[in-house]
Structures are given as structure tokens and as C-alpha cells.
Structure 1
Amino acid sequence: MRPFFFLTGALLALPGTIFGASGRGHCRCTPEKPCWPSTTKWRALNDSIDGNLLSLKPVGYVCHNPTYDEEACSNLMKMNDNSLWKSGEPGAVLSPNWEIWPERNESCFAESPRNAPCGQGRIPIYSTIVRTPFHIQRAVRFADKHNLRLVIRNTGHDYLGRSAAPESLQIFTHHMKDMDFTDDFVPDGKKDGKGVGEAVTIGAGVQLAELYRAANKLGKTQVIGLAVSVGAAGGYIQGGGHSPLGPWKGSSIDHVLEYKLVTAKGKLVTANEYQNQDLFWALRGGGGGTFGVVYSVTLRTFKDPPTVFSALNITTGGTAGESYWNAVEKFHSYLPSISDAGGSGYYYIIPDLDFEGQKVSVVAGIFYFVGRDDKESVDKVFEPILSDIESLPGVYVPYDSFQAPSSFATFQLDGEAADEAAGGADPSILGSRLYSEKLLRSKNGPGRLAKAISQLDYSDGTIAIGHLVAGGQVSKNRHVDAALNPSWRDALTHIAVSRKWTLSSGPAGLRQVQKKVTNEDVPILAAVEPHMGAYVNEADVNEPQFQRTFWGSNYPRLLRIKRKWDPEGLFFVKSGVGSEGWDEQGLCRR
């Protein structure tokens, strides 16, 4: 999901235990139990991974008694909102709500009073700072042998909290930064030895901005997202990976040529079209942290084409009224036209915004026309849109556009300024739904969608974020056999609601906001098109029927593959494949 900025100019919910017929116990081993590894065993693990085992504390502990450190706390407060800095800290996560362990009322926020208790929360107890596949093997085998809760963390940029868990061992892949570009990649196991075209092979720790910059030096690009701190090879692409380049070339998973990973038994495995095809299928959309520890991904690359960038603000004064919501309806009715012209992008629905002492209601949109070098024809696409929306009383629609020599030139990822602007996520809970092209092309569909969006509660600063990242080639690639939610092939837009909560409200406040998202927001959004589901990486982690919502008809096959490759359920993420067999934290079997 793009960070917000304001523009001014047979579905199975199987009962009982799914995994673990070996009799190793109902619950995983935790520190208070005799089975917890001794200091000697932890030292042995450390030695086996070249001294890369780290005892973790939440990053905020330096701001609390009795470990208060004035200089360290001051430095932390300066960096704590920077997502790139957080991504490199194994004791941090991007969304602070996932630091809390609500059941035990444990948290350790830097912003809390100095004398407030500092608990471990959901920050793992140990981290293996892995730098090679061999390190990953050692960590996985250690966790399997001692029945530990295992967490895979690349950057911590995870809205569903899958890269943190209480009383766990972390595998931190952030430092695996290798990138290898080739003009003709040959997948392992391809018998004729012939290449399949240009590609890049990246280590698990490579972040989106790093990959874009490296590819740009070669005049290339690839289908990935835009949030600079996201890890390209982690949960992003394993969950499906939407992209502003998607309508041009298809989903990110459509262009994965090969995964290399460590399985639950600590084996090195290659998954592609020529070997371990079932695992290759599952990793393309089945979700991160579920089937193994991916340490390398190979993606197709393309010559970076010219791109037209457009931006508009639909604005009304005062609180959101009839004109504003009519504008939201009209805007959605024109999304198919923008898509037909090759457009993709993001838009922010912000009713009742306090801006420079005034109340305004805004829809701020940014759009990319990848592969277009004709700015004038793109402007013509927007002429009827602007004219129609501006005919509404009290509605103003400033618009601008420019021609760029490449898509990279429009993404604002080309310097330190982008790094410095990589703000951390506000404490918030997401809910979302996909909406079909058919709905938005129908006579009443845009109105039904706008009405649903208007029924959400915006009194606390909540916004709705639209992602025009489907349609086009994403839809045309429906022949690609992968685990991606089939609804993506019918979708045109993905809308997420981001509802804030305050750190000072603690676990009780967090639970209250979570209930509002799960019990009020998501049902409103889902009622428009109940069959469409949601995007697994940007959704409500408490979806009651996550199997159907995140994977549709693909879930039974995914579960069979999960059982084959991870029969004991070593890899767990909440609302992930097979997670129905475990409690909320993945510590005890249901």
C-alpha cells in the first residue's frame, strides 16, 4: 500500500488438529518450560551460524526504567518513524500495534512514559541474523528440534503482524542483499538448457527501492510495488504482490521464474516450472512465512518504458455532503476508462479533513500510464472525467500531468529524499475488499460502492485508500496457474480502510478499534460484492472466513501442499494456510 500524502496542485475451515501427528505436544516450547533450550544449546546455535544469534529487546526499552539511556532514547525518537530504519532493526516492526501482546498487556513503546513497564510483547526473544542459506538451515533445524515458535522477518513491513510473535525465535533475512541481473536466465532443472529471457535474482533482504535503483542503472524495471521499505522477495511477492506496473505486465507473481528456499526439515529446495511445481504454485500467492524460508527469488525484467504521470484532487469545502459522495460515485464510474487507457495508480478518499484551519473533503488521485509517450492523449482521457465531476455543485478538480522517460522517473525513488520520507506506519488496523471491473462498468455499481464507502465512520481521521492496480494485463493473465486469489483476475480496484488507534490507549484501545474494523467496516465493504474477497497482504487479519476471503477456490489445494511440505506446522502466520489448527499466536494447537 502506498503511504498517504496530500496532493495540492469448498472452502475448508477444518475442525480439530491439522498438523502434528508425531505426538511432540499440544503446545510449542516456551521459556518457562523445561524443554526450553539451555544456554549451552543457544551458544551452540550461535556458533553454528558464525556468531549471528542476537538476544532481542523491543527497540523502545532504552526509553524505560531500569534500562533508560538518555542518548539512545533521543536517537531512537528521531528515527522511530522512519520505515527504512525500522526495517533494519530486528527488535522493531513497522506497525506498532504488532509489538503488543494484548493477552498479557505487554508493550514497550518509546513514546510511553519512562516509568511505564517495558514488556517483551510480540517481539521475538532471539533473532538469527542470517546471511547465507546455511544459516537459515541451522535456525530452522534448531526450531524444529526444540519445537519453538518460529518467525520469518525480512523488513517488518507487515500490516497483518506475521513477522512478530511472542516467545519466538526469529529468522532475520534482511542482510541477504545479493542482486544478479542476466540477459537470459536458465531455470534450474530445465532440460534443454535454454534461457527464458532477461531476469534478476535477488536475495531475501533486497528492498523495493534498492531493486528499482539497481535496475534503473541498467535501463530496466520489474513488476513490484512502491513502498520503499518492503522486501521484494518476502511476504509481498509470496502473497501476490500488486504493482502500478501490473496493468501493463500482470501481477508480480506472474513474473516469478524461480524460488529457492529452506523447507521445514531444513532442506535446500528450488521451486520452478521444472521441479517442485506444487511448491512453486503455492509460493505464487499462497502467503509469506507459510511454506518455507525463501532466500532467493528470480523475476523477469523489462526495458523501462516511457510513462505519463497524472494527478488530480477532487475537492469540496466543508464536511462531506451530497456533492462529495456524488463525485466519489462518478470518479469510480470512470476507473474503467482510465484502465482502458493503460492507467494504474492510487487514490485517497478523505472526507472531513482539517486542512490549514478549514474543513474540506478530498479524493486525491495519482496515476501512471506505463508505456505511453503521448501526454496529450492521456490528458484527453481525463477531459470528460474532469468536466463531469466539476459539473457537480461546489466540486473543484485541479489536474496536472507530465511526460517522463521511464516509469522509475515517476516513482520518486531516485535519491536520499525518498529514504528520508519513508515514514513509519501510523498505528492503524486495516480492512479491505477487491471490487470487480464488472461492478464498475455496470449502471448502478459505482453508486453502490460509493454508498458503502460513505457509510464508514470517518470521525477519527480514517481514510479509504483505493488501488487501481488490477485490470489490464492482470486480468488477461488469468491463464497463469498460481495460488493468487482468483478474484484478482476479475478485479479492477482494491480498497483498504485504515483506522487509527493511539498508543496511549494501549491494548484495550487496540481491541476496540480491531472490533470496529472486523464487525463494522469490513462487513460494509464486503456486502457490495460478497464473492470477491480481499488481498492477503492488506486486509483484516481477523477475517472470520479468511480461507475463502484470501484464496477463494485455491484454498483446499494450498492446504494439501502445506501438509506435504510442513506436516508439523513449523511455519505459522495468523490467518495463513493451515493456521486454523492453532491458537491466535501459533503457540498451542486448537
Structure 2
Amino acid sequence: MPSLTIHRPAFLAVFLSIIAISLQLAAPSSIYHELEANQSCRCTAFNSSCWPSAQSWQDFNRSIDGRLIALSPPASPCHDPNFNAQACRTAQQRWGFPFWRADQPGAMQASNWEALGRFTCLINSPRNSTCFQGSVATYAVNATESRHIQAAIALAQARNLRIVIKNTGHDYLGRSTAPGALMIWTHNLREIVYHEKFAPMGCTIRAEDPPAMTIGAGIQWEDLYAAAFNRNHVVVGGGSSSVGGAGGNPMGAGHGPLSPLHGLAADNVLELKLVTADGRLIVANRCQNRDLYWALRGGGGGTFGVVVSLTHRLYPPLTNIVYASYSFMASSRRAFRDLLVKFTELHPSLERAGWSGVFAMSNVTALSMTYLLPNRNVSFANATLAPLERFAQSSGSSIQLNASLQNFPSFQQWHLVIQCGGAPDCRELNSSTTQSLATAGIPLLLASRLIPRATIQSSPNATADAFIAIQDRFPLVSITGIFVAGGSVSRPRNNAVNPAWRRALWHVILGISWMELGDLEEERIAARNVSAANQFLVDLTPGSGAYGNEGDFNEPRWQRTFFGASYPRLLAIKRRADPAGMFRCRHCVGSEIWSEDLNCPAGIAQEDQPLVSSF
């Protein structure tokens, strides 16, 4: 391997007085009074007195087979002194494409998490404009073996370094990066192993042991969908196939189009192999390390250890899939409200029929839905959706409907045709192709709420009014409904998944973007607006919760909202597994004892504040 080239950034004499979006974290609970009160602040690249020397980094790099990367922002090739015309063109062409971003260790899917306040690196700014490091971590260990991860943790322990964990960067709370940190990049742990019958390690072999696939932490759903199909199976995965199949998605809960049929991704995890805070490589399943096995299925990624591999249960192939694409346009506000009420009222019967999918609304006039019905035929699908068609017809000209139903013989064919635009693999798409992959390369903030079945059944009018109020008050906030709860998701499991998922029928996501990355006032307004919009859904659903992976960065009651009744047990497991807080991230279990930047114990100022760096 070539020797590591270390680029020394020029440090500006500007203290970090700005963070991307900020509100006070919840006050530390009294349960923490005994916890590591004397912990010092983490060492970051901005503190030369503790940060390893260039020679130390070279020695460490040799010890891990040359896998250390000096990180830079994804737009760095478009700026001096690192300008590279070909690399810059590639970055500009692929900027909004999630698979390309996943392959860049310094990139996040939402570009605001690459910025540190107004300090960022813009893709289309002049070549001679400053490219700031922003929130991009300083170094990454490009792990291809578990020992690389163990070495990174050993170094972090010895030098008190801040650690972050990243695979694809599909994180909307900025948890996969931190300024001045050492990143463990798991994206190139790429093994896939098929098991005709999987007995977890240390467990007695049973006749009912299911087929399964063990995947390395870097495998994305795109890879796993194809591998399962090639073995004549399906797997419960995400709607966006560029998301990692062994990281924060299944560990946080993980929803997808097959969830109503087979449960959440977390419900189908049979085993995990991980490196713990003390550097041990362990296995967690129903027979060993059972507390961690419980916590890692719903308690969130980046919290209890670094996952090296994960085993997913497989299911028999689908016999048929009906895909419905419906688009409604209302001529008046009243007609639109009536449509929303009818649409809401129909969903308990759609749940019973087995539908799942995505709906979206805009401008108090338009509603679209793209739904999936497995193991049923077109005749059955038509009958279940007929009430919507009859409603539109009975409105006269008040509601226009464009509807289509398509039949697919397999989940994989549906995925390739509908989600990949007919390409043989979603990686072959470009960012301008119409597809259902996650939006990438733009600043983006989300908030979300799990809408209980009881609310949909008893309060369709109030539900419609909440959506309309959001559109009226916050026209720049998008509303996307993910109809992936209900069905098998409703069945309680012995894992840490937020209990609100078991009562929900919809997962509603609110999103907002803004024009200029680095415009702090616009960003603050966007953050306030998406939180205020989400309050309408909170008021509609008292006692419910949200999906933490797509939750509000400024959620004030995040322990209850993201984890529900699971939180006390998760906190106890965290204290045992990682008492010193090696693994910490925003709104992750135990994070309330740390400062806003997560580098210091709460209430303790860091003497050496990070300086802003540029290339």
C-alpha cells in the first residue's frame, strides 16, 4: 500500500461559536450523577497538545495495512490547492446521487452535515474560493477487517480521541461525522454469506431455523436485494436501496415496503458481530450477549459498538406483486380536505388487505400514492382501491384521478423497474433519473411522527386538518406518508424497537431544504419551521413517538419520542457496555450526559475549542 499523505490544513483564528442547528439538549437525568463525572473532554484534531503527531499517524497507518485516509469534503477536488479537473467533473455530475455519496468517506447524504455553521465547501463555488473542512472528520480508518476497527478503538482509548462511525452517510441528525474526529468507515466490509438454515452461534440447531444471509457492515440494500433474489428469497429492507443493510437502519428499526408482511428490519435480525468499547470482537444473538442483542435491534446504531456483520432472516419469494400509482388533483380546498378524509378512512381496510407504500401531498390540491400489494392479483387490488375511485367519480369535476395498476412476478423485478427506472442495478442511475431513492447532495432537515391506527380510525377529520394546517402555515415543508406499519409490524417482539411502531399505521415525514449551504439564518429558520410543523402531528397523536433515524434534530423529548418505554433498559445496557462513552452521537442512548458537541461532559467547557480549518 502507498504511504499515507497527510494534508496539513491551515487553521483560522476563529473559535467554533456556530453549529449548524442548535437547541439545548434535555437536562441530564439524575441516573447519571454517578457516571464518569471526572471524564475529560475528547481530544480532537484542533488540540495540538493531545492530537497524535504526523509520525504517529504514519505508524498507525502501517499497523492497519495502509487503511488510514486523510479526509476531505466531497467538493475538495473543485478547489485549490487540491483542484483536479476530472475528479471535479465527476463530483459535479454525481453530486446528487446517493450511491456516489456513499462511496465518498467524507460525504454525507444531506450536505448540511458536511458544514460547520457557515464554514463549508461548495461544489459550484469558484475554484479559488476557500474549501473549509467543516464537520468532515479528520481521518478515517477504511476498515476491511474487524482488526482494523479494533486498532482504531485501541488508538482512541490510548489517546482519548473522538470516534464516529459511518457507512453510507444516510443520517439526518449528523451522527456519522464530527469535526476533528477519527472516523471508523465500515463501507468496505462487503462479505455476503448465504445460509440455507441459520442457527445462531452458540444456539442449539432447530428444525425451524430459517434461511438467512450474513452481510458485512458495508453491504447496502441494493446488494442484499439482488443476493436474496438470486437465492429465490426476499429480505425486509429499506425503500431506498442505497441505505446500508447492517448499520443504523436495521439497528434503529428499519422500515420498508415488505414490513407490513414480514415486520421491521430489526425484527428480522438473527445475529450481530460487533467490536465493543473495550475492543473485543463478540457475537450477540438469542443465546449469548442477549442484552446487547435486544438493544441492537431498535436501540440505534453508533451507540453500543461497531457492527462488523449482521445476519438477516430470509423469506420465500413473493408469488405476485401489484403496484398502484394514483394521482389526485382537487379543484378546491374543500374538495382536497374531503379527499384527505376519505383517503385516511380507507387505510385500516388497506392494511387488512396487505398494502404498503408512500403517499405525498402538496399545495392543498395534490395527493399522490405509490403502493405495493404482495401475493395478490390485480382483481383483488382493484376491489380494495375501488372506494377511492368511486369517491373521485362522485365528486364530478372537483377531483381528477389518474390511476394505473401494474403486475410484477417478483419483488426484484418491481424494484428494478419502479425504483431503479428499468436499470439492471440502481447504481447505474444518475441523479437526474426519476426514481424513489433518497434525496442527496442538498441541505435537508427532517422531522417525523408515527401516526397510530387508533388516530386514523377515530379521527380522520382531525388528521386531514393537521396536514392542511401544515401546508398552510409551512408551504416549504414537504409531507410524505410512509405506509409501512400495521400488519406484521404490529406484533410485539422481544427487541428494543420503539413501542410506538407497534401501534402505528403511518410514519409521516416532514422535510425542508434551503437554498444556500452555509446561510445560518436560513438554516435556523428552516429548523424552526420543520419543528413547528411537526408539532401539529405531535398534538394530533399524544403518547405516540417518532422514528429516530428520520426524526427532528431539535426534538426536545427525544428519549421518550424515539425510544419510548424501551429507554430505561437501553440506558442500563449502555452503562454496562460503554461506561466511558466511547460511542456517542446525537439523540443516541446516553447522549444527554455530554455537551452539545458531544466532546465533553455536560456543563464542562472544552478549554481548547475547535478551530475552523480549510484546505
TM > 0.5: yes
8 Å CA contact retained: 1:460, 1:500? no
Map 1:290-329 onto structure 2 (within 5 A): 290-305=303-318, 306-317=320-331, 321-329=333-341
Work out whether 1:427 is the aligned partner of 2:443.
yes
Q: Percent identity?
A: 35
Q: Structure 2 CA distance, aligned partners of 1:110 and 1:216?
A: 38
| 1:202 aligns to 2:206 (yes or no) | no
In structure 1, give the amino acid aligned to 2:446.
Answer: L
1:467 equivalent in alignment to 2:482: yes
The separation in 2 between residues aligned to 1:124 and 1:337, in whole angstroms, is 48
Report the counterpart of residue 608 of structure 2 in structure 1: none
Amino acid at match of 1:418: C
Between 237-246 and 398-407, report the one with greater CA deviation: 398-407
Partner of 2:112: 97
Aligned to 1:165: 178
Q: Is the 8 A contact 2:112 2:442 kept in 1?
A: no
SS in 1 for 2:330: strand
Higher mean C-alpha displacement, 409-418 vs 58-67: 409-418
Q: Which moved more, 1:40-49 or 1:193-202?
A: 193-202
Structure 1, unaligned stretches of length 5 or more?
Answer: 1-10, 353-360
What is the Cα deviation at residue 71 of structure 1? 3.5
* Matches of 2:330 and 2:425, distance apart in 1: 31
* Cα shift readout 1:369-411 (whole Å, capped 9, x = no counterpart): 1222x21011111111221244335211221112221222222
Using the alignment, how far apart are the partners of 1:561 and 1:39 within structure 2?
37
Partner of 1:331: 343
Other-structure match for 1:190: 203
Which of 137, 143, 146 does residue 159 from structure 2 map onto? 146
Secondary structure at the residue paired with 1:59? Answer: coil
SS at match of 1:563: helix
Q: Deviations over 1:27-52 (max 9, x none)?
A: 44443241111222212221121100
Q: For the Cα contact (< 8 Å) 2:120–2:518, is it kept in 1? A: no
Measured after TM superposition, the shift of residue 308 of structure 1 is: 1.5
Aligned equivalent of 2:556: 544
**Do the aligned partners of residues 16 and 43 (structure 1) sit closer, same or farther apart at CA in structure 2, a change above 3 Å counting?**
farther
> Are residues 1:386 and 2:389 paired?
yes
User: 2: CA distance between counterparts of 1:18 and 1:96?
Assistant: 37
Partner in structure 2 of residue 36 of structure 1:
51
- Which blocks of at least 5 consecutive residues in structure 2 are unaligned? 1-25, 603-615
Conserved? CA contact 1:185–1:195, under 8 Å? no
Q: Does 1:565 align with 2:573?
A: no
Letter in 2 for 1:310: A
- Superposed counterparts of 1:157-556, under 5 Å: 157-191=170-204, 196-305=209-318, 306-317=320-331, 321-351=333-363, 361-372=365-376, 374-392=377-395, 394-412=398-416, 413=420, 415-416=423-424, 418-419=426-427, 420=429, 421=433, 422=437, 424-442=440-458, 445-457=459-471, 461-475=476-490, 477-478=491-492, 480-504=493-517, 506-518=519-531, 520-556=532-568
Q: In the alignment, is residue 58 of structure 1 matched against residue 73 of structure 2?
A: yes
Tell me the CA shift for residue 18 of structure 1: 6.2
- Displacement of 1:115 after TM fit? 4.0
Q: Quick one: distance in 1 between partners of 2:134 and 2:520? A: 11
Asked whether the equivalents of residues 120 and 517 of structure 2 are also in contact (C-alpha less than 8 Å), the reply is no
Q: 1:18 to 1:284 in 2, by over 3 A?
A: farther
Residue 540 of structure 2 aligns to a residue whose secondary structure is coil
Preserved contact between residue 166 and residue 585 of structure 1 (Cα < 8 Å): no
Whole-angstrom distance in 2 between the partners of 1:140 and 1:293 = 10
Report the Cα distance in structure 1 between the residues aligned to 2:392 and 2:573, rounded to whole angstroms. 49
User: C-alpha separation between the residues in 2 aligned to 1:279 and 1:395?
Assistant: 52
2:144 to 128, 131, 135: 131
Distance in 2 separating the partners of 1:148 and 1:507: 29
| Bigger shift: residues 136-145 or 31-40 | 31-40
Render the CA deviation track for 1:233-291: whole Å, top value 9, x for unaligned.
Answer: 00000000011111111111111110000001110010000000000000000011111
Equivalent position amino acid for 2:544 in 1: M
* C-alpha distance in structure 1 between counterparts of 2:125 and 2:166, whole Å: 25
Segment of structure 1 superposing worse, 196-205 or 506-515: 506-515
Q: Distance in 2 between matches of 1:21 and 1:432?
A: 33
